C-alpha cells in the first residue's frame, strides 16, 4: 500500500503534482489537515484503496505537528509512506502570486507577500527532513509532471541517486545535497558549431571527451560520490541529489550528469534531470 504525502510552500506546484499522481492511478486528496490523516488512512484501508496521494493542509489545526508520528503509524499498518516537499525560490513565488493575483494564505492583513512566503517557509521547514525535497523554481508544469512520475517509478526501499544539471545563472537548486561547480572547464558555448546544442548531443560529447581536464573532473566527482555513497545509505537516506552546475546548464553540466548517471546505473537506482533543458 503506497501513501505519498505532499507538502511545502504555497505556489510551489502541489496541485500540479497531485494531478500527475492522479493520472498515474493514485487516489488523490487535496488540502487534508495533518490531524485527519490517521482517519483517512483507516477509511481507505477499509475501502481497499492501496495507492493514495495527499496534499497536506498547513493552514488549519496544528500544521505539521504530529506528521512524523502519523507517518510512523501508517508504516506500522503496512503502508509504504513517502513525503515529498516542494520548495520554490522567493522571487519566483512573488512573480507567480503577482501574475495570478492570488492572495497568499498567510498574508492576512499584517504581512507583505514576501513576509508571508518567508513565514510559511519557516513553518514547514522542519518537514524537509521527513522525505525528499523538490525545487520547482522556474519549472514548467509539464516538466514537474514528468519529474513526479520519475519519483514514483523507483523502489522507495532503496537509495535513489539523482544527478541534476543546472546553470549558475538561475541559481543553485534548493534540493541539492552535493554541488559540484564545473565552470572551470572549457565551454562549448563559445564554439559556433556547438552553441545551439547541448551536452547530450554527439558533437558536444566528442568535443568534451577530448579535453584532459574534463576527464579529470569526471574522475574526481565519480570517486567522491562512490566513496561516500555507502555512508549516505547507512544514514537511511532514500534520495541523494548530486547537482552539477556550469554557467548556462546546457553543455558541461549536462554531459557530466549523463555520464555519471550511466556509470552508477548498474549498481544503484539512478535518475537524471536537466533543469535548464526542462
How confident is the model over 101-114, as pLDDT tens digits?
888 888 877 889 99
Owning domain of residue 167: 161-274
Q: Write down which residue in 153, 169, 199 finishes a domain.
A: 153
Q: Which comes out higher in pLDDT, residue 126 or 172?
A: 172
Over range 262-268, report the average pLDDT.
94
Q: How many domains does one find in the chain?
A: 2
Q: Write down which residue in 153, 169, 195 finishes a domain.
A: 153
Question: Are both 125 and 169 inside the same structural domain?
Answer: no
pLDDT tens readout for residues 249-260: 999 999 999 999
Question: Are both 72 and 189 inside the same structural domain?
Answer: no
Question: Are both 21 and 140 inside the same structural domain?
Answer: yes
Contact by Cβ (8 Å): 5, 54 = yes
Cα 239 to Cα 158: distance, rounded to the nearest angstrom = 8
What pLDDT is stored for residue 259 in this prediction?
98
Question: Are both 172 and 55 inside the same structural domain?
Answer: no
Q: Write down which residue in 118, 153, 188 finishes a domain.
A: 153
CATH number at residue 66: 3.40.50.300
Question: Are both 187 and 167 inside the same structural domain?
Answer: yes
Question: Are both 31 and 106 inside the same structural domain?
Answer: yes
pTM of the prediction?
0.81
What pLDDT is stored for residue 103 in this prediction?
87
Amino acid at each position: 500500500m503506497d501513501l505519498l504525502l505532499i507538502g511545502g510552500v504555497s505556489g510551489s506546484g502541489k496541485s500540479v503534482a497531485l494531478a500527475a499522481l492522479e493520472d498515474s492511478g493514485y487516489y488523490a486528496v487535496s488540502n487534508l489537515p495533518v490531524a485527519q490523516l490517521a482517519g483517512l488512512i483507516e477509511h481507505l484501508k477499509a475501502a481497499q484503496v492501496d495507492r493514495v496521494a495527499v496534499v497536506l493542509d498547513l493552514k488549519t489545526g496544528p500544521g505539521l505537528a504530529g506528521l512524523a508520528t502519523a507517518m510512523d503509524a501508517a508504516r506500522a499498518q503496512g503502508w509504504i509512506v513517502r513525503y515529498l516537499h516542494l520548495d520554490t525560490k522567493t522571487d519566483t513565488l512573488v512573480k507567480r502570486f503577482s501574475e495570478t493575483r492570488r492572495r497568499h494564505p498567510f498574508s492576512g492583513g499584517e504581512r507583505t507577500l514576501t513576509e508571508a512566503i518567508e513565514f510559511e517557509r519557516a513553518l514547514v521547514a522542519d518537514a524537509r527532513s521527513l522525505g525528499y525535497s523538490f525545487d520547482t523554481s522556474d519549472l514548467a508544469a509539464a516538466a514537474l509532471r514528468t519529474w513526479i512520475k520519475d519519483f514514483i517509478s523507483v523502489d522507495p526501499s532503496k537509495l535513489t541517486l539523482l544527478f541534476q544539471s543546472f546553470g549558475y545563472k538561475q541559481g543553485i537548486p534548493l534540493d541539492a545535497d552535493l554541488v559540484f561547480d564545473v565552470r572551470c572547464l572549457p565551454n562549448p558555448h563559445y564554439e559556433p558549431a556547438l552553441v545551439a546544442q547541448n551536452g547530450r548531443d554527439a558533437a558536444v560529447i566528442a568535443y568534451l571527451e577530448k579535453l584532459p581536464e574534463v576527464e579529470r573532473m569526471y574522475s574526481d566527482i565519480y570517486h567522491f560520490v562512490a566513496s561516500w555513497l555507502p555512508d549516505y545509505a547507512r544514514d537511511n537516506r532514500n534520495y541523494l541529489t548530486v547537482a552539477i552546475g556550469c554557467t548556462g546548464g546546457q553543455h558541461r553540466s549536462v554531459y557530466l550528469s549523463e555520464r555519471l548517471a550511466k556509470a552508477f546505473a548498474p549498481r544503484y537506482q539512478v535518475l537524471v534531470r536537466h533543469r535548464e533543458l526542462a
